[in-house]
């Protein structure tokens, strides 16, 4: 009996060790492939890989050093959470066609990736990752702030507001229910002292769906969408920062920001309801929350939305906006579609390439017609008469039947009167 217990213990211990070793090896290989794929953009390092019987893989002490950032981003841990240890083994098993090593690799029914305590430095080199401005706008540009000479909050402004580094905790993933064909995508990002952002997207999609879809394939359909933004003292810091610049009170900051936003929206051809304007004013008071929800009616034909009025669109999409957990009653707005399109995507500015300068022509004696000589009075000239005589000087005067040419001598010059009919060839220095 004792031998059986010892043997059983050793078998279990060996199986557990094999499990840990398999997970470590496969994860290490995946990280190596990630390093290779990003080698031109950043350096990747990590401390240790661990796993547990709950189906979780944890990578400790991750360090990312983007080359253009020139600063290291330390991350306490990155974890991958499978639905169970069996799902993780099924995914990693080299004998299974769904192994990451297989060309037929598939994904588990659910997966969640988490980042714990990523530390982002607020350095100016983040500017290296900003796209070149092209004159276009997005919906976020409608919400302006009254902050003196500051139009938006960037890295420099974040530092002035006291954010030298940002600590970020984030998770994102998916869950697929094969029985109902419902795919749920979700994320949760918490930036300490700034905000918490959560979102979820539910879509009805067949497991075998691929892009581009083949003829007769059922396209994915939106079932539900939610986006929640919760302020975590960022607006209070922003208010303090801006009122120091302008000398306004917090109430004047809110009033000025709302007025500036209305001006921008008017430029874009958008006139929102009073309820929506008041909701933005409430948001600027700080420590608030904003939630966006879409819950469209079943079998909605999205192609018909272009022909609906605003209220019908809101009803068809099940659109809800909530400020501080209170639903905004009137979501109506009048929109000039032409002006809005021009605001969001203005036509590209065509800059004509400068015309090349005319080629430089070296001066030389060039042949002209006798009838053209009146345009070259004062120019050096070489004449050849019918007799073969050559005369070189400068044109003094051009008359109807003759020209006067000043021929230089050692002291002064002498004028020659040459009849036009006697000229065989004339060249002007030009």
pLDDT digit string (tens) for the chain, length 430 residues: 555 454 554 555 555 555 566 677 777 788 888 888 888 899 999 998 888 888 888 999 999 999 998 899 999 999 999 888 777 777 766 555 444 444 434 678 889 999 999 999 999 988 888 877 766 667 777 888 899 888 888 899 999 999 999 999 999 999 988 888 888 999 999 999 999 999 999 988 876 666 666 666 667 788 899 999 999 999 999 999 999 989 999 999 999 999 999 998 888 888 998 999 999 999 999 888 999 999 888 777 777 777 777 778 778 888 888 988 889 988 888 888 888 888 888 777 677 778 787 777 778 888 888 888 888 888 888 888 888 888 888 888 888 888 888 888 877 788 888 888 888 888 888 8
Q: Is residue 18 part of a domain?
A: no
Helix, strand, coil tally for the chain in percent (to 5): 30, 35, 35
266 shares a domain with 411: no
* pLDDT single digits (tens) 264-323: 888 888 899 899 999 999 999 988 899 999 988 877 777 777 777 777 877 888 888 898
Angle at alpha carbon of residue 300, lines to 276 and 211, rounded to 5°: 105
334 shares a domain with 370: no
Q: Which two tokens stand for residue 39?
A: 């080698």
**3-state SS, residue 376:** helix
Name 51's bridge partners.
57
369 shares a domain with 329: no
Give the range of the structural domain holding residue 308, as residue numbers without chain letter: 41-128+135-209+219-344
139: left (phi over 0), alpha (psi -120 to 50) or beta: alpha
Q: Is residue 225 part of a domain?
A: yes
Residue 162, burial from CB neighbour count under 10 angstroms (0-12, 13-18, 19+):
exposed
pLDDT of residue 92: 67
Domain boundary among 286, 309, 344: 344
Q: Is residue 334 part of a domain?
A: yes
373 shares a domain with 327: no
56 shares a domain with 149: yes
Contact 161, 237 (CB under 8 A): yes
369 shares a domain with 293: no
Q: Is residue 190 part of a domain?
A: yes
The CATH number covering residue 379 comes to: 2.30.30.100
Domain boundary among 344, 376, 405: 344
Angle subtended by helix axes 250-267 and 234-246, to nearest 10: 90
241 shares a domain with 184: yes
Q: Is residue 27 part of a domain?
A: no
382 shares a domain with 238: no
223 shares a domain with 95: yes
398 shares a domain with 332: no
pLDDT of residue 119: 95
197 shares a domain with 77: yes
pLDDT of residue 212: 63
**How many domains, the chain?**
2
Provide the 8-state DSSP code for 266: H
Alpha-carbon gap, residue 221 to 202, rounded angstroms: 9
């Amino acid at each position: 009996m004792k031998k059986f217990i010892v043997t059983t213990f050793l078998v279990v211990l060996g199986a557990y060790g094999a499990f840990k070793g398999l997970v470590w090896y496969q994860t290490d290989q995946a990280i190596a492939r990630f390093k290779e794929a990003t080698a031109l953009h950043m350096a990747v390092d990590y401390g240790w890989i661990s796993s547990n019987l709950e189906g979780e893989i944890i990578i400790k002490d991750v360090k990312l050093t983007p080359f253009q950032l020139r600063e290291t981003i330390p991350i306490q841990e990155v974890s991958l959470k499978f639905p169970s240890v069996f799902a993780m083994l099924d995914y990693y098993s080299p004998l299974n066609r769904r192994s990451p090593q297989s060309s037929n690799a598939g994904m588990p029914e659910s997966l969640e990736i988490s980042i714990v305590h990523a530390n982002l430095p607020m350095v100016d080199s983040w500017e290296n990752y900003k796209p070149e401005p092209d004159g276009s706008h997005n919906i976020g540009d409608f919400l302006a702030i009254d902050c003196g000479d500051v139009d938006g909050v960037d890295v420099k402004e974040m530092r002035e507001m006291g954010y030298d580094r940002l600590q970020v905790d984030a998770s994102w993933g998916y869950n697929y229910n094969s029985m109902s064909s419902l795919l749920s995508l979700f994320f949760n990002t918490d930036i300490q002292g700034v905000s918490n952002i959560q979102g979820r997207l539910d879509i009805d999609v067949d497991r075998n769906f691929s892009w581009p879809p083949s003829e007769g394939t059922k396209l994915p359909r939106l079932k539900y969408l939610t986006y929640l933004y919760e302020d975590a003292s960022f607006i209070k810091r922003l208010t303090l920062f801006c009122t120091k610049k302008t000398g306004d009170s917090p109430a004047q900051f809110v009033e000025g920001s709302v007025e500036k936003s209305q001006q921008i929206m008017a430029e874009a051809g958008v006139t929102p309801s009073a309820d929506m304007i008041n909701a933005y004013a409430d948001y600027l008071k700080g420590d608030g929350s904003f939630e966006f929800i879409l819950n469209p009616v079943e079998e909605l034909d999205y192609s018909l939305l272009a022909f609906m009025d605003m209220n019908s669109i809101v009803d068809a999409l099940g659109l809800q906006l909530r400020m501080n957990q209170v639903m905004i009653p009137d979501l109506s707005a009048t929109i000039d579609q032409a002006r809005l399109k021009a605001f969001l995507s203005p036509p590209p500015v065509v800059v004509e390439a400068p015309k090349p300068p005319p080629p430089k022509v070296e001066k030389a004696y060039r042949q002209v017609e006798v009838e053209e000589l009146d345009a070259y009075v004062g120019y050096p000239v070489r004449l050849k008469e019918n007799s073969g005589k050559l005369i070189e000087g400068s044109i003094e005067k051009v008359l109807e039947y003759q020209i006067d040419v000043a021929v230089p001598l050692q002291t002064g010059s002498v004028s020659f009167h040459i009849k036009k009919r006697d000229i065989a060839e004339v060249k002007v220095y030009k």
